[in-house]
Amino acid sequence: QQPVQSPQAVILREGEDAVINCSSSKALYSVHWYRQKHGEAPVFLMILLKGGEQKGHEKISASFNEKKQQSSLYLTASQLSYSGTYFCGTGYNQGGKLIFGQGTELSVKP
Amino acid sequence: DAGVTQSPTHLIKTRGQHVTLRCSPISGHKSVSWYQQVLGQGPQFIFQYYEKEERGRGNFPDRFSARQFPNYSSELNVNALLLGDSALYLCASSFLTGVQPQHFGDGTRLSIL
């Protein structure tokens, strides 16, 4: 039931773009995206509800493909501060229980 | 405003002992969730509480228990500690239950010897 994230790790140069995918084998109700830097707490980025909407602000956005039961996180013109591990948390009903993926480690180099 | 606060930050215990972890949610938040994060993995859901009632439980043994107090703070208790319980325990609060942004504390690092 744990969602599968891909890629497991990615290395970027400043200014490059990246896409992180989160796939579920079970019908999704919501997808939550978090970023965690080493030794710190996960930080909330955004929530997407089923319906195929796209959300985002500035250079970080995400989409939800209900047919594929997949969400994608888009990071454009990456900055050094984007480095960290990105987790998707999936919800399968209106409750608050989240199942997190194994994470995608993103490293942005100067 | 203060974020989610957890105590203690670090804890070392031996097998068979008991531990109590504490969490104070963001002011105004009524829901608290507990997660276990093993190094290199995503957080794993343990419990969710809302208005002092358990609203969800993950796949953890009965050695794990929790409660929420009238001021919305929460405790996670783990009995008969095993080596495999070594992990970062994260508390997250949200304004309500349901599909809400969850705001995490810095966690308690529990090491079992």
CATH number, domain with residue A21: 2.60.40.10
Interface of A with B in 31-50 (CB under 8 A): 32, 34, 40-44, 47, 49
Beta bridge partners of A21: A6, A72
User: Does the bond joining A3 to the residue before it have cis omega, within 30 degrees of 0?
Assistant: no
Q: Which of B4, B45, B106 sits opposite A97 (nearest CB)?
A: B45
Low-confidence ranges of chain B (pLDDT < 50): none
The structural domain count of chain A equals 1
The structural domain count of chain B equals 1
pLDDT tens digit sequence for A58-108: 789 999 988 899 999 999 999 999 999 999 999 988 887 899 999 999 999
Q: Which residues contact B83 (CB under 8 A, 6 or more apart)?
A: B15, B112
Residue A52's pLDDT band (boundaries 50, 70, 90)?
Answer: low
Q: Which of A44, A49, A102 sits opposite B41 (nearest CB)?
A: A102
Residue-number span of the structural domain to which B93 is assigned: 5-112
